[in-house]
Amino acid sequence: MQISNTIIKLLHKRGIQEQEDIMEFLSPSPRRTYDPFLLKNMEEGVSLILEEAVKGSRICIYGDYDADGITSTTLMLSILSHITDPGQVDYYIPSRFEEGYGLNMDAVRQISERGVDLIITVDCGSVSYEEVEYAKQLGMKVLVTDHHNVTDTIADCLVINPKQPGCPYPFKSLAGCGVAFKVAQAIQQRADLPKSVINEVLDLVAIGTVGDIMPLVDENRTIVKFGLRILNRCQRTGLARLIEAVSLTPGKITSENISYVIVPHLNASGRIEDASMAVELLRCAEEPKDASASEALDEKVATLVNQNIQRKKLQQDTFRSCVEDLHEVKDFILIRSEDAHEGIAGIVAGKLKETYYRPAVLVTPSGEEKKYLKGTGRSIAGVNLYELLKKNEHLFEKFGGHAGACGFLMPEEHLPELEKSLLDSMEEIKKENPDIFCRQYDIDLNVDVEELTADFARELELLAPFGNSNPKPLFQLSNVTLDDIRYMGDAEQHMRFFAWSHSGRRIQCVLFNDAQRYGLAVHARRPVELVGTLECQVWQGQERIQFLVDEIKFN
């Protein structure tokens, strides 16, 4: 393989130095994967599943309402269908609105009433100690498969989680569906099933891994590369119908298409109503046998598409309302929204964070008498939201998350104390880092307009799939002037223009969602610097490149 110096530079910047690692990273058929039985409790967990399957026990897959949980649930249902009567296996996904994330007592009781003998969790359950004890009291066995940090008392049952203490598995960053996939691999080996039962679920693992923003390195990169191949064949009928409905092109679907098109549609089911709709769509792997079944499948697709449209509208309306209520941009944005839909609160918090480049929390009334507030937050680089909220743990009824995103439930009367504490913490952070609110860009290369060609864009695709820990290369164009500026969008929030080099070469540029931040300054014919990524598109058989702008810097 002939590799240019530019690609080598970009790989070195990503920490990939050795020739062997470079070839593995660029290979169309990577081999970096690990024995599933290196996962702690895998041997015992698979034995339990096979024993219960042989006995004809009733098994329930307990999932989650996001894309990772949805794909994990579908994957586990698929592999179990090869070792037991599918009629003996069902699933349960909690309501985002009434139950929240993870195992809960009422759900465990309902599952027991169905006559279930074994609960297998996917993407949840590691610290559900009390819920697991309750399930055992009701006569059920529990196997937990999960990937979240173990920050509390671990459940007293078989737990398969690479992040649990004492697990020797060499790669700790599998998604929930990645862990479920390793269980499927282990079942395939122990039950001597054909490898096709593993290959046929790789599309699900790719969607869940990208959707849960897992780092696309090491084993995840292998999974997603092979998963994209399966996904692009559109062999799963329900998913193929969704791909057609959202105007993606089979054979050309990328990790970005997963992130920005497929995952939002799957997530919309859990955000607006019931994530089971998305599971049922993904479970439809073969063409329906009659017209009525085909029509029913199309209705499911239409429902998901409409739910995503509804999600977008709710998101836009809530964001606009929050902006109107934001009379002063403080160092920590804490906004109370009386009627924000719980399903989109996290997205709105993220958009507030991006717009004002401040950590942001959106709180909404919760509970029958609205005596509680449910908070959802997103943070910027350099501000560990989990640590900030952990200082105030005494104010919360429930609390969890990580550095970049957190959620909590608290009595309404604690809100003023929480806001004061967060603002005080931000004061301390600003003293240590006065530039904390300056957007930081990890620029890969400074380039000239002349270097941005279709050949160069195609070469960059060697680094795909792009995502967490392997972003699209970020370039800086220096000393360019802008002209032919045109605004787009209902609020003129987007902008299209040309950037000209001093030698007279130009490239078309697009700036999304942030055009008004620059005001009239972009119209002044003075040199600027552009930060962004390169994209190659095919339009009516013709290749064209454009520069997707993240930031305009004025000299």
Domain end (from 199, 220, 250): 199
Asked whether residue 45 falls in the same domain as residue 187, the answer is yes
Model pLDDT, residue 517: 81
Specify the CATH number for the domain of residue 372: 3.10.310.30
Mean pLDDT of all residues in 388-392: 93
Specify the CATH number for the domain of residue 469: 2.40.50.460
- Using one digit for the tens of pLDDT, what is the confidence trace for 417-451? 999 999 999 999 999 999 999 988 999 999 999 99
- Using one digit for the tens of pLDDT, what is the confidence trace for 38-95? 999 999 999 999 999 999 999 999 999 999 999 999 999 999 999 999 999 999 999 9
Model pLDDT, residue 323: 92
Most confident among 145-154, 196-205, 434-443 (mean pLDDT) = 196-205
Whether residue 9 is contained in a domain is answered as: no
Q: Which of 168-172, 176-180, 385-389 has the lowest mean pLDDT?
A: 385-389
Specify the CATH number for the domain of residue 109: 3.90.1640.30
Asked whether residue 195 falls in the same domain as residue 51, the answer is yes
CA nearest to 174, candidates 38, 65, 80: 38
Asked whether residue 358 falls in the same domain as residue 458, the answer is no
Asked whether residue 450 falls in the same domain as residue 538, the answer is yes
Asked whether residue 405 falls in the same domain as residue 466, the answer is no
Query: Can you give the residue range of the structural domain that contains 422?
Result: 326-432
Count CA within 13 A, CB hemisphere, residue 506. 11
CA–CA separation, 221 vs 231, rounded Å? 15
Whether residue 279 is contained in a domain is answered as: no
CA–CA separation, 266 vs 269, rounded Å? 6
Model pLDDT, residue 515: 85
Q: What percent of the chain has pLDDT over 90?
A: 83
Asked whether residue 418 falls in the same domain as residue 472, the answer is no
Whether residue 295 is contained in a domain is answered as: no
Asked whether residue 42 falls in the same domain as residue 164, the answer is yes
Asked whether residue 153 falls in the same domain as residue 34, the answer is yes
Q: What percent of the chain has pLDDT over 70?
A: 100
CA–CA separation, 359 vs 357, rounded Å? 7
Number of domains in the chain: 3
The answer on pLDDT for 520 being more than 80 is: no
Question: 367: pLDDT confidence band, cut at 50, 70 and 90?
Answer: confident
> Residue 384 is encoded by which pair of tokens?
């560990």
Asked whether residue 354 falls in the same domain as residue 474, the answer is no
Whether residue 250 is contained in a domain is answered as: no
DSSP secondary structure string for all residues of 163-210: TSTT---S-----HHHHHHHHHHHHHHHTT--THHHHTTHHHHHHHHH
Average pLDDT, the chain: 93
Count CA within 13 A, CB hemisphere, residue 277. 25
Asked whether residue 458 falls in the same domain as residue 426, the answer is no
Q: What pTM value is reported for the model?
A: 0.92
Model pLDDT, residue 1: 64
> Residue 52 is encoded by which pair of tokens?
């219960």
Q: Which of 249-253, 402-406, 469-473 has the lowest mean pLDDT?
A: 402-406
Whether residue 160 is contained in a domain is answered as: yes
Whether residue 215 is contained in a domain is answered as: no
Model pLDDT, residue 98: 86
Model pLDDT, residue 51: 97
Asked whether residue 77 falls in the same domain as residue 121, the answer is yes
